[in-house]
Structure 1
Amino acid sequence: MKRRFKMNSISIKLGILFSGIFIGLFFILGFILYSAFTNLFIDYIKQDLVVRGNNHANVLEKQFHQETIEHVVKMETDVTTDVLIADSNQNILASSVVPDEDMKEHMLHSDEIHKGGLIEEDWREHDYLISISPIGNYQGYVYMYYPTSLLREIVVVLNIVMIVTSFGIVLLALALIGFMSRMLTKPLITMKEATNKMALGKYKQIIPVSGNDELAQLGESIQSLGEQLQEFDDSRNEFLATVSHELRTPLTYIKGYSDILTKGIITKPEEQEEYLNIINKEAKRITFLVNDLLDVSKLQVGKFELNKETANINPVIQKVIINLKPEAEEKGVALSAELLDVPDTSIDVQRMEQVIYNLVENAIKYTIEGGITVLTYTTNDFVAIEISDTGIGIPADHLEQIWDRFYRVDSSRTRKTGGSGLGLYVVKNIIQSHGGDIRVESTENSGTTFTIYHK
């Protein structure tokens, strides 16, 4: 598909701008050079005319007689310049040409004494440039004439050469400027096309740029942005699939067991209680997932708020341990707490309970055998909460990414254990909102330890 050039395209605008600047500067420079050359050339003619006249006057001063006069006249015959020799009373003694009216009109009157030099230098209005050189002690005068018609012809030729040369240079410059503007804007056009494709959902784009200038850096940034958007889109799609699965599974349990109870198929109280517990457990599972989603949406729009109060973290941990102990025992995993005496701190109790619950529940999910320990202690004026397990651990190259939204270490592993990839993202934001910090240490197949520091 051929590209159509539009007047509002950046390459056309740059071409017009550069062309305008170049043409303006070129004509200014050309005018200056033309004026300088013309003035220098004419000044040379004037000076040469005066010098020739002075040389003739010096010769005549030594031998002012007819033979010398004829010799001087002969020297100026069949050359560009002409000579006229007059006595002290301005009577013509000899001339290389028959004097015309303009020559005669510029001869000095007897009462005018001239020290020598140009007496007519207007080459545009008069027929001659004229100089006068006195002979000796004003015994006579040597008049030199240079026909200005030659100067005007030379200037006309010079004008033609300048115009033709300028026209050729301008055409060549316009072509070069057009090519350069195209080369300069080609990366921008490529980036524009790439961003248009990205707007249509084709995020991964290859932008061929070279060098390390601003355009190359912009191209690399757009390319990197596309890759990040693609990763985000992939994570989002995977997240939506996971959330759908996470919602579908408990809803299936709730619907199935509630149908059984509604139809009265189960009559034994202990079985009814078991089914109700399952329904309650799956409802809590949905509640935690929905809460994570709500927290993420609040974090994105900056509406995540804490309701802080002065409280001790140990009772919060004990409550979480009591709630999750049945789930741990069901898997054959020991869940214990070593809660040392720690000072009260300013916390949002409900949010901190959510943090501990998420971390302990994750530990239960990924611990097949062994145990989970929750420890509290103080260190350097910080209250530390340490959750350690003997689970499958986290690969070292994933440790920095586990805090990212939607990130999961292993999708296949997540499908078995459940999880939306939001829990740790929410946990870290809650801790940071409290002004604290959370760190992780993990070894594959040995276990993981999360440590929270809060002041």
Structure 2
Amino acid sequence: MKIKSISFKLGLWFSTIFLSLLLILGFILYGVFTNFFTDYIEQDLVAKGNNHAQNLEKQFTKSTINHAIQMEQGVSTKILITNNQYQIISSSIELDEDIIDHIFLDKPISTGQVIENDWKNHEYIVSVSPVGENQGYVYMYYPSSIIKEIIFVMSLLSFISSLGIMLVAFGLIGILSRVFTKPLLTMKEATLKMAEGKYKQKVPIHGRDEIAQLGNSIQTLGEQLQYYEESRNDFLAAVSHEIRTPLTYIKGYSDVLSKGIIKNREEQEEYLQIINKETNRLSFLVNDLFEMSKLQTGKFELTKEWTSINDIMEKIISNLKPVAEKKGLELWGELEEDLPLLYVDIRRMEQVFYNLIENGIKYTNIGGISVRSFSKRDLIGIEIKDTGIGIPQNNLPRIWERFYRVDSSRTRKTGGSGLGLYVVKQIIESHGGTITVKSTENEGSIFTIFLTIDQENKSRRNR
């Protein structure tokens, strides 16, 4: 069966690591304890043998030998005493072939030492200590069975302790894995709801670690998706309105003209002007949509050439001046002479200035719009200032976003898709420039553009 629970996988993974480490630690402790215990027994055995040998060296008689044998009665260790010819004088241990084999030494010794410590394969650990100058030998024996029993008991206790530790650890791992995976499951539920279209989700995860950051990112993503969804819906509603209104005018007046139900030539001219105006309105809307599409798909390309920025602005001012005058507004330019040429996409720059100046005309009822060009160090600046209704301060940071409109009601009055300023900003930034805005409600707005003059531009000055 395929395991799907991440908490189970995490718990299994941690448990495997913990169990492996516990086994490794157990083997290490087993080796350390065994070596330490057997070393202690060997040293104790040699010390006892040396002690008996020193006593026998003073008086190597039957009474002292019997005394040594009696001292080892009722204790774990056993003793065997031989002369210098390895003949057994006395012993507290039952003799067998293994014991007899250990009596004969390969070479004489001058100090006590262990001659057998393989407790796993032999019945005793054996040490030998010489008595005086070649008087005899004292053999000490420690039963291997005692070592095995002690190590078995210690291993059993270790196993039981380890089992208890494992059970507690597995319980803690299970709890911790659930604690660790709970935020992930919460984020999973949030993303599933987002997939259903419920973008704005609250992800209750606190802290500053990576999981908390991921939760905050998902929550922020949901808020952004919700915003774009609402903006898209508003945009579609606005575009539908923007398209429906001119189409209604065009269809209505074209029907009147096609049926010939007009009173005079002046009325015909009026209808044709309305159709032309609404056609232009549709054309601007479609152009904004087309530009946005190219920006989104990465197909936005610039066709640059050397030109005077003043020439572009004079053309736009000339084209829009009648529109401003029709509304009772002034439109004028204050253009600094002898500015260096710029390497720009002329059509795109016309689109920028046309959009900004037309916006100024749309949202200005009294006063006018001024267009100023100037040089500032290695920059050429263009300032478009109006005396219109202005933009609220809390809306200023968002006017460059796609589909964003400051006020839907005023947009319906003036028209607009919420794409113009987004496209303007993209065009300016694609030329390496910047655009900023300052605005005060009921006083007007100032849009300022800065474009860089490079060394080649400077060399073209006054050409």
User: Cα RMSD (Å) of the superposition?
Assistant: 2.4
Counterpart residue number, 1:251: 247
Counterpart residue number, 2:51: 55
Counterpart residue number, 2:70: 74
Counterpart residue number, 2:229: 233
Q: Find the aligned partners of 1:241 and 1:138 in 2 and give their Cα distance.
A: 117
Cα shift at 1:121: 2.2
Alignment CA distance shift 1:79-1:17 (3 Å): same
Cα shift at 1:37: 0.6
Q: Which moved more, 1:445-454 or 1:10-19?
A: 10-19
User: Partner of 1:220: helix, strand, or coil?
Assistant: helix
Aligned amino acid, residue 291 of structure 2: D
Counterpart residue number, 1:33: 29
1:104 aligns with one of 86, 100, 106 = 100
Q: Find the aligned partners of 1:375 and 1:386 in 2 and give their Cα distance.
A: 5
Q: Find the aligned partners of 2:93 and 2:212 in 1 and give their Cα distance.
A: 75
2:108 aligns with one of 113, 120, 124 = 113
2:124 aligns with one of 128, 148, 168 = 128
Cα shift at 1:97: 4.4
> How many positions carry a matched residue from both structures?
450
Q: Which moved more, 1:210-219 or 1:315-324?
A: 315-324
Cα shift at 1:114: 3.7
Alignment of 1:293-372 (within 5 A): 293-343=289-339, 344-372=341-369
1:386 aligns with 2:383: yes
Q: Find the aligned partners of 2:101 and 2:345 in 1 and give their Cα distance.
A: 113
Alignment CA distance shift 1:137-1:337 (3 Å): closer
User: Partner of 2:114: helix, strand, or coil?
Assistant: strand
- Check whether the contact 1:77–1:96 (CA below 8 A) recurs between aligned residues: yes
Alignment CA distance shift 1:301-1:50 (3 Å): same
Cα shift at 1:422: 0.7
Q: Find the aligned partners of 1:230 and 1:162 in 2 and give their Cα distance.
A: 59
Cα shift at 1:15: 2.8
Gaps of 5+ in 1: none
Q: Find the aligned partners of 2:383 and 2:438 in 1 and give their Cα distance.
A: 11
Cα shift readout 1:400-445 (whole Å, capped 9, x = no counterpart): 2211211112222222222111111111222223333322222211
TM-score after normalising by structure 2 = 0.89
1:183 aligns with one of 179, 184, 199 = 179
2:209 aligns with one of 203, 210, 213 = 213
Q: Which moved more, 1:34-43 or 1:86-95?
A: 86-95
1:415 aligns with one of 412, 421, 434 = 412
Gaps of 5+ in 2: 454-463
Cα shift at 1:293: 0.5
User: Partner of 1:450: helix, strand, or coil?
Assistant: strand
Cα shift at 1:244: 0.9
Cα shift at 1:40: 1.3
Cα shift at 1:8: 4.2
Query: What's the % identity of the aligned pairs?
Result: 60
Q: Find the aligned partners of 2:84 and 2:332 in 1 and give their Cα distance.
A: 135
- Check whether the contact 1:375–1:386 (CA below 8 A) recurs between aligned residues: yes
Q: Find the aligned partners of 1:387 and 1:69 in 2 and give their Cα distance.
A: 122
Cα shift at 1:151: 1.8
1:262 aligns with 2:258: yes
Cα shift at 1:160: 2.6
Counterpart residue number, 2:195: 199
Q: Find the aligned partners of 2:272 and 2:66 in 1 and give their Cα distance.
A: 142
Cα shift at 1:392: 0.9
- Check whether the contact 1:342–1:377 (CA below 8 A) recurs between aligned residues: no
1:145 aligns with 2:141: yes
- Check whether the contact 1:82–1:145 (CA below 8 A) recurs between aligned residues: yes
User: Partner of 2:134: helix, strand, or coil?
Assistant: coil
Cα shift at 1:342: 4.2
TM-score after normalising by structure 1 = 0.91
- Check whether the contact 1:6–1:12 (CA below 8 A) recurs between aligned residues: no
Cα shift readout 1:58-97 (whole Å, capped 9, x = no counterpart): 1122233333222222211111111222333444333334
Cα shift at 1:223: 1.4
Counterpart residue number, 2:435: 438
Alignment of 1:77-92 (within 5 A): 77-92=73-88
User: Partner of 1:262: helix, strand, or coil?
Assistant: helix
Cα shift readout 1:191-226 (whole Å, capped 9, x = no counterpart): 233222222222112222222122222221121111
Q: Which moved more, 1:402-411 or 1:152-161?
A: 152-161
- Check whether the contact 1:308–1:347 (CA below 8 A) recurs between aligned residues: yes
- Check whether the contact 1:312–1:342 (CA below 8 A) recurs between aligned residues: no
Alignment CA distance shift 1:266-1:319 (3 Å): farther
Counterpart residue number, 2:456: none
Q: Find the aligned partners of 1:92 and 1:444 in 2 and give their Cα distance.
A: 120
